[in-house]
Structure 1
Amino acid sequence: MTNLNIDFLKKMLSTYSPAGNEVKIADLIREEIKELVDEITVDTLGNLIARKKGAGKKVMLAGHMDQIGLMVTYIDDEGFLRFTNVGGISPAITLSQRVIFENGTIGVIGSERLEDLKDLRLDKLFIDIGASSREEAEDKVKIGDIAVYCSEVVADEKKVISQALDDRIGCFVMIEALKRLSNTENDLYFVFTVQEEVGTRGAKTAAYGIEPDIAIAFDVTATGDTPKAKSMAVKLGKGPAIKVKDNSILCHPKVKNYMIDQAEKNNIPYQIEILEFGGTDAGAIHLTKSGVPSGVLSIPCRYLHSDCEMVFLSDVEEAIELTKNIVIHPIQLDE
């Protein structure tokens, strides 16, 4: 397997950047890719847009930088913090987890006493930062501050386990594919989007400004390979997944077939993905202006929206190679 830059991936996964406050991860990515592209801009909403110029089709590649979070809504007299979700937060996954705020303050998620665990809801949970009063808590945390899961990134020769693989791993695939490109006949826009977790907002505005001919989103997808999982024909270690549909898009058949053709021509393992829930940036991009033919390349991931999401590095490597081959050749969907 090609030697992946795992140290940089760990930096990406450990960088605090919840939806609506993606500045830190954008700065990290900009520094990594600035010598590889012809121009870099940041649009009004905060999307990082890196262009590698070419004379062919205008291709938008999109992966979202933001991660899910917990926003403080109230601080009680004893210093406990109530919160709301920023993106998809599960009460069962969140209970007893450590979380961290932008200023480094760390807390633990606790729960009111419940007669039955089925009554567990976000409004029954609180963040305990070890304060003994509202005044003490307010010295460290304010209403509107956002915490994210706080856990160590685990990586070995086979896998990575971490928070925020959704979707830092998609951004990583884009970055590593960019490093393997020399010249390209396509006009490539590598877009690292904001606020995907709260409604694919960054992708919508970026696509409106770019007006791409073709778009491909990069994100994680669920798997059906754990005991008694919901039936799904995606497994870890079997290659990246080429999406057919999710709740936000029916992928353009010519884009999907082009991606499949490139995988088969280059002997790259791939899977076909049909996700019966959720969506990606492609859901917003394909509806932009008069429409954009769009597809999605997904990284299989277990335990989505938790602090211990898991991907296999073989799938990541194969996604990078497939991405390189998708964008390096002239794209003619009419053929």
Structure 2
Amino acid sequence: MKEILTKLVEAYGPPGNEAQVRELIINEIKAKVDDIQIDVMGNIIAKKKGNIGEKSIMFAAHMDEIGLMVTHIDKNGFLRFTTMGGVKVFNLIGERVRFANGTIGVINAEFIKNWKEIELHKLFIDIGVETKEEAQKLVAIGDSCGIERSLVDLGNRVAAKSLDDRIGCAILIQMINEIQEISHNHDVYFTFTVQEEVGLRGAKTAAYGIDPDLGIAVDVTIAGDTPEPPKIDLHLGKGPAIKVKDVSMITNPLVKDLMVNTAKKHNIPYQLEVLPYGGTDAGAIHLTKAGILAGCISIPCRYVHSPSEMVDMRDVEHSVKLGLQLIKEFV
């Protein structure tokens, strides 16, 4: 999985600009599913038919990453910008960014006497030009960029930008690879969604079109196992987390119990997630139409929404197994 994960996390894909990620995913899965549709929003909806097809299950992982958008170009070619998603301003100074056309920039700040005063309006992007006219040949108002970072392989763990949620995309790709070997009754929709970071937008329309009997988001969650962490009882390497609650949803007990009982039955290590902030595509899925049974497989992640997010690949492998077993256990 690390090979495809490396390609995914190093790809460009801020909200609304997921085309490069979408192309990577389609090339990986097109020969292994029965049907692929790209909807108006840009979601990939890949269908794997079941033996009976009486019910349907939707798995969702989002392709977009947090990013920045150009709002102003000054006379010297420096770019001012706004954020797309939950960008932490203090993480940006000194980072490199990449635009869709390959233009690279460096983020820095105006003179700051007191570093507690770091605010977005004090930051700028330097793309190495000397005038506004030179800059306008490379970027325009409204162009988006994402952090430029490569994946680092740490053995059992990896660190990279945009593991939120390219790790979920990698899990769905691996599920597609392995579902070829199992018999399943239900139709399964592997959905790679857009614009999750700016309001769960892609999942909302995709779920409306699919109208599944069960929807499962696959996304990262906050780990609580670093020095002086937030009071969240989630740890890298102890298995995927089964969501109980976040800001966007309270998991239906029927779904939570299905996931817990499936993990126990198949000896899959798991944790329970109660997240006091944030949300996932499951929050949009469960409110679609008259309501959909929905849950979330969460991968514990350190340093979420930073340029160096970190996950444990053993949790990733167990997430694949849990997802595949849920397909067979759902009745």
Indicate the TM-score class for this superposition, using the shorter chain for normalisation. over 0.9
Match of 1:99 in 2: 97
Q: Residues of 1 paired with 2:43 and 2:37: CA distance?
A: 8
- For the Cα contact (< 8 Å) 1:181–1:328, is it kept in 2? no
Question: What SS does the aligned partner of 2:179 have?
Answer: coil
* Match status 1:162 vs 2:160: yes
**Deviation for aligned residue 1:8:** 1.2
Q: Percent identity?
A: 51
Match of 2:106 in 1: 108
**Deviation for aligned residue 1:123:** 1.1
TM-score (norm 1): 0.96
**Deviation for aligned residue 1:35:** 1.7
**Aligned to 2:55, which of 57, 71, 76?**
57
Match of 1:304 in 2: 304
Give matches, 1:151-300, under 5 Å: 151-182=149-180, 183-300=183-300
Match of 1:149 in 2: 147
Match of 1:81 in 2: 79
Match of 2:2 in 1: 6
Q: Residues of 1 paired with 2:20 and 2:102: CA distance?
A: 14
Runs (5+) with no aligned partner, structure 2: none
Match of 1:27 in 2: 23
Match of 2:42 in 1: 46
Task: State the superposition RMSD in angstroms.
Answer: 0.9
Question: What SS does the aligned partner of 1:92 have?
Answer: helix
Match of 2:11 in 1: 15
Q: Residues of 1 paired with 2:128 and 2:115: CA distance?
A: 25
Partner deviation per Cα, 1:175-214 (whole Å, 9 max, x = no partner): 1112111331111111000000000000000011111111
Question: What SS does the aligned partner of 1:180 have?
Answer: helix
Match of 1:138 in 2: 136
Question: What SS does the aligned partner of 2:216 have?
Answer: strand
TM-score (norm 2): 0.97
**Deviation for aligned residue 1:115:** 2.3
**Deviation for aligned residue 1:158:** 1.0
Counterpart AA for 1:327? I
Q: Residues of 2 paired with 1:174 and 1:68: CA distance?
A: 20
After superposing on structure 2, the runs of 4+ consecutive aligned residues of structure 1 that deviate more than 4 Å are none
**Deviation for aligned residue 1:273:** 0.4
Question: What SS does the aligned partner of 2:278 have?
Answer: coil
Counterpart AA for 1:111? A
- For the Cα contact (< 8 Å) 1:178–1:324, is it kept in 2? no
Runs (5+) with no aligned partner, structure 1: none
Counterpart AA for 1:196? E
Q: Residues of 2 paired with 1:247 and 1:152: CA distance?
A: 31
Count of aligned positions: 327
Q: Residues of 1 paired with 2:263 and 2:218: CA distance?
A: 16
**Deviation for aligned residue 1:156:** 3.5
Q: Residues of 1 paired with 2:163 and 2:21: CA distance?
A: 13
Counterpart AA for 1:42? I
**Deviation for aligned residue 1:241:** 0.3
Q: Residues of 2 paired with 1:202 and 1:168: CA distance?
A: 15
Q: Residues of 1 paired with 2:128 and 2:21: CA distance?
A: 28
Counterpart AA for 2:140? K
**Deviation for aligned residue 1:134:** 0.5
**Deviation for aligned residue 1:162:** 0.5
Counterpart AA for 2:114? D
Counterpart AA for 2:136? E
Q: Residues of 2 paired with 1:315 and 1:309: CA distance?
A: 14
